[in-house]
Amino acid sequence: MKNAPILITLALAQLATVCLSAEEQAPFPYQLPKEKPDRKLSEAMERIYDNYPAPQPEDNELFSQFKYTELKGFDYRDGDGTVSRRDPSKIIFENGKYYVWYTKRDTKVPPVGMHRAAEATDEIPSADWDLSEIWYATSADGFTWEEQGVAIKRPEKPLVGWRSVTTTDILKWKGKYYLYYQGFMEASGTRGDDCPVAVSYADSPEGPWTAANKVVIPNGPEGAWDQYSIHDPYPLVRDGKIYIYYKSDFGRDPHKVRMQGLAIAEDPLGPFTKHPLNPVITSGHETSLFPFKEGVAALVYKDGPEHNTIQYAEDGVNFSIASITELMPYAAAPYIPDAFTDTKDGRGITWGLAHFINQGGKGRNHSILVRFDCDLSLDVNDPQMKEHRV
């Protein structure tokens, strides 16, 4: 028994080890702790604390799912493919009503398809957005819309946009309105989509619109990531300047890698300086961003390794994933009350318009505008915001 003290010491040490590992492996309480627990975590649990603003989706202000509603007021000629509405602008509220601008195609026949672009003529469209104009509509409630007419017509050849003017977005700056849009110089499907951005301006959202008749955001130089296209121009006001986010792509089909960049100007007609860190978002398709707290949030969907995410950049430039979600709106065009107020306290969004692409029979594809509702607002008690929460 002379070894008894040693044995007792060993037994106690073993008990301590058991207790320690039991504590280390203690099950999580029913509620996920808000702070990262001080214990060994799996990689997935480390990541949920380190990579996302809040571990529980319902506590993450930039998490939402999306609800869709059919709109009233738009006629699509029985969906025969000859009328299309797509790529809506963000929505603004002026003169007691909501305004939206969008690509409208009204052609004798449906598009033949981009792969048959050689068959396109002055009357036969190649893609859904070929031979289009920019139209606008107004609404009292965001569900029923009244189409008001054309805002931007196609100009005479060879002016920028003579083949098609599409994919517009609105800026309000010092009491004037600016529509930025893609100006096609040939049919989509040949090299038409390698288009730059043009701009028109007006004193009222009702127009009349004056075309600046110039390229306002040019394609990048040969070899640059954005040499081929400048798509989906999306203006916000930040730091007293105009921030235009846009989409471009590395490479050509079938190896196109879509990303998003930023161009900044002090005057809406330019010159725009492309950000030296471009591209600033590595995934996504159409651009869709909004002021959020001090920074900018982005809906990132459809293409790339980070699709189906909502991202955030405090400086509007260095984005990271805030949440992962599903069934996101395509060409999402939110109603953003503070898009142009140069806010450092962005309040978020609760609804907007988006498009659904109807891929009918041979070449009969056209798109329709739909409404989406979401839960990305900080103003939970604002009755207008609350009314639209999912």
Q: Which residues bind ligand AAL (CB under 6 A)?
A: 87, 129, 166-167, 182, 193, 231-232, 247, 285-286, 331
State the number of CA atoms in the 13 A half-sphere of 36 facing the CB: 15
Q: Minimum distance from CB of 177 to ligand AAL (Å)?
A: 21
d(CA 290, CA 314): 12
Q: Contact at 8 Å (CB) between 164 and 188?
A: yes
Is the CB of 63 or the CB of 129 nearer to ligand AAL? 129
Q: Contact at 8 Å (CB) between 275 and 262?
A: yes
Q: Judge residue 49's burial from the number of C-beta atoms within 10 Å of its C-beta, 0-12 exposed, 13-18 middle, 19 or more buried.
A: middle
Is the CB of 61 or the CB of 232 nearer to ligand AAL? 232
Is the CB of 303 or the CB of 375 nearer to ligand AAL? 303
Is the CB of 331 or the CB of 336 nearer to ligand AAL? 331
Is the CB of 182 or the CB of 377 nearer to ligand AAL? 182
What is the DSSP annotation of 74-109? Answer: ---GGG-SSEEEE-PPPBEEETTEEEEEEEEEE-SS
d(CA 34, CA 333): 33
State the number of CA atoms in the 13 A half-sphere of 80 facing the CB: 7
Is the CB of 232 or the CB of 373 nearer to ligand AAL? 232
Q: Contact at 8 Å (CB) between 111 and 99?
A: no
Pairing of strands 333-334, 346-359: antiparallel
Q: Minimum distance from CB of 333 to ligand AAL (Å)?
A: 11
Q: Containing H/E element for 214?
A: strand 210-217
Q: Minimum distance from CB of 166 to ligand AAL (Å)?
A: 5
In the complex, residue closest to ligand AAL by CB = 167
Q: Minimum distance from CB of 129 to ligand AAL (Å)?
A: 4
Q: Minimum distance from CB of 137 to ligand AAL (Å)?
A: 18
Residue 272, both tokens: 């725009």
Is the CB of 193 or the CB of 373 nearer to ligand AAL? 193
Q: Minimum distance from CB of 282 to ligand AAL (Å)?
A: 16
Buried/exposed 256-276: b ≥16 CB within 10 Å, e otherwise: eebbbbbbbbeebebebebee
Q: Minimum distance from CB of 132 to ligand AAL (Å)?
A: 9
Is the CB of 74 or the CB of 356 nearer to ligand AAL? 356
Q: Minimum distance from CB of 58 to ligand AAL (Å)?
A: 31
DSSP state of 280: -
